[in-house]
Amino acid sequence: MKRRGSGVLLHVSSLPSPFGIGDMGPSAYQFVDFLAGAKQSYWQILPLNPTDTFHYNSPYHTTGAFAGNPLLISPELLAEQGFLDKKDLSPSPEFSHGRVDFRSVTAYKEKIFMQAYERFKTTKEKCDYESFCSQNSDWLEDFALFMALRSRFKKQAWSEWPQDIRDRKPDVLQSVRKELGDSIEMQKFLQFVSFMQWLSLKSYCNGKGVQIIGDIPIYVDYDSADVWTYPHLFKLDDKKRPYVVAGVPPDYFSKTGQLWGNPIYHWDVMKQNGYDWWVRRMAHSAKLFDFMRVDHFRGFVAYWEVPAHEKNAVNGRWVEAPALDFFNHLTKKFPYLPIIAEDLGVITADVREIMRQFRFPGMKLLLFAFGSDMPTNPYIPHNLVKNCVAYTGTHDNITVRGWFEKVATREEKERVFRYLGHEVTAEQLPWELVRLVMMSIANTVILPMQDLLCLSEEARMNQPATQEGNWQWRLSPDLLTPALTARLLEMTETYGRT
């Protein structure tokens, strides 16, 4: 990211669609046209992995680190591909256009996915499908089996499955594969469709001069195909349950820290096998994205380890991870690592040194810039560096307008006015901050869609340390107006980011 450019942060699930959730269909292509029309260089999204209602459909909690999220499959494209008739799509339920109702969306899509799969089974020409399965067999076979078993055991955690299946006894798994053959094939079909739709969309983006910034959560869920398949890579007890879990200590976002609950890597074991799982994960991600934002980057240097019985993240400890050896190994496999380091929060010198050594850009948020230390604040525009990605805010923040209306103190508001040189209203502030980051020295600027639309707190995507009510916001299709395109284009051209 050495040249000046800008882009927009909007997850696929937030796109307009008649099916209750954004998907990879026509509205996604229309959004790319909007980006291209405003001469944007990047589209940043959240993780594309499968989500689960148990974790309130957070894209940072997934059943498979390599898999795609079937909920983002476009029914309209399924019809175009011949897997559905258009009549199969109607009548669809009356979904909310402003928020995602994950339960109703899941119920509807599972129904049409079954119809699509039944038609797929009668298709004679399956070369593309067979090629996909062959090229992705290293993760697809275990993921499909895991999901089929999870359905069979009614989403019971894999540690509660019969012991021979829990422990992956080869003869037992062979028998189970035969027994669940059709269910396994359906899972593979959904992954095939998901990846084909995404790669087609990515190709369209790249053809329009737009690059994709994907998002890679550092951790995986305990109840995932990855932990079931490779339990030796994680800190589990003799019953294959985590005895320590991941989180972060108390910080800006939460006074009791954040207890994520993910199992923690056995880095010494990973090191012995050349970090094979991570190498494959990065190679896989490189096919899907042009750049990769790695969530909680500091966890590669040192991670916050909390005993599994704790109710919050306060009573944890820092444990060192082999960052230097790990990234040296990755750079031998991938001469160019297109990583953006999510380095928000309290970041120590050792993390900064790893970022400097491997030239990974960090993230700078303008919402963090107006504290009492404003002249020396690393987030204030005059202190930014070229090799960073500057944002007004991210999916974890309240919107700029919402911050000004609900969160900012009187002193912070006064500092904003002083920095701008004039007073503004809450509705005017988002574009004033957009201007500040666009004119900054930062090579890359990413703007949340909600801030471009000057939306208030109800448009927030996620509130860390909470569970319910997140990941639901959706973009209304009538908001992508020619006037918005023209305004963003003018700002982009003015500050040399085309």
Q: What is the pLDDT of residues 100-146, one digit of tens each?
A: 999 999 999 999 999 999 999 998 889 999 999 999 999 999 999 99
Round to whole Å and give the CA distance between 379 and 362.
Answer: 11
Residue 43 has which token pair? 């589209």
Q: Is residue 396 annotated as part of the catalytic site, yes or no?
A: yes
pLDDT band at 346 (very low <50, low <70, confident <90, very high): confident
Q: What tokens does 453 get?
A: 């639309």
Domains within the chain, CATH numbers bracketed: 5-494 (3.20.20.80)
Distances (CA, A) of 285 to 66, 199, 275: 8, 12, 15
14-46 pLDDT, tens digit per residue, is 999 999 999 999 999 999 999 999 999 999 999
By the 10 Å C-beta count (0-12 exposed, 13-18 middle, 19+ buried), 33 is classed as middle
Q: Looking at this protein, which amino acid is placed at residue 480?
A: L
CB proximity list for 279: less than 8 A, separation 6 or greater: 329, 330, 333
Among the options 52, 76, 290, 295, which is catalytic?
Answer: 295
- C-alpha dist (Å) from residue 257 to 260, 286, 466: 9, 32, 11
Q: What is the pLDDT of residues 82-91, one digit of tens each?
A: 999 988 887 7
d(CA 390, CA 271): 33
What's the rounded Cα separation, in Å, for the pair 357 and 425? 42
Angstrom distance (rounded) from CA 188 to CA 347? 41
Q: Are the C-beta atoms of residues 40 and 6 closer than 8 Å to each other? A: yes
Tokens describing residue 90: 């109607």
107: tokens are 């119920």
Tokens of 172: 């037992």
Q: Structure tokens of 425? A: 């209203």
CA pair distance 398, 451, nearest whole angstrom: 10
- State the catalytic residue, choosing from 215, 342, 343, 451: 342
Which pLDDT belongs to residue 1?
Answer: 81
Question: Phi/psi at 485 (nearest 5 deg)?
Answer: -60, -45
Is the pLDDT score of 415 beyond 90? Answer: yes
pLDDT by residue (tens digit) across 217-233? 999 999 999 999 999 99
- Alpha carbon distance 207, 30 (integer Å): 14
CA 273 distance to own-chain centroid = 27
| pLDDT category of residue 342 using cuts at 50, 70 and 90 | very high
Interhelix angle 349-358/323-333, rounded to 10 degrees, is 10
- The answer, yes or no, to whether residue 379 has pLDDT greater than 70, is yes
- CB-CB contact of 431 with 454 (8 Å): yes
**Of residues 350, 396, 432, 457, which has the active-site annotation?**
396
Residue 350, H or E segment: helix 349-358
Residue 2 has pLDDT above 90, yes or no: no
| The length of the chain, given as a count of residues | 498
pLDDT of residue 253: 67
pLDDT averaged over every residue in the chain: 96
Do 316 and 306 touch, CB atoms closer than 8 A?
yes
Please measure the distance between the N-terminal and C-terminal CA atoms of the chain and give it in whole angstroms.
Answer: 13
What residues pair up with 339 in beta bridges, in sequence order?
292
User: Is residue 342 annotated as part of the catalytic site, yes or no?
Assistant: yes
Q: Model's pTM, two decimal places?
A: 0.96
Higher per-residue pLDDT: 55 or 273: 273
Percent of the chain with pLDDT over 90: 91
pLDDT of residue 138: 97
Dihedral sign for Cα atoms in the order 164, 167, 171, 176? positive
Picking from 378, 323, 387, 376, the residue whose alpha carbon sits closest to that of residue 345 is 378
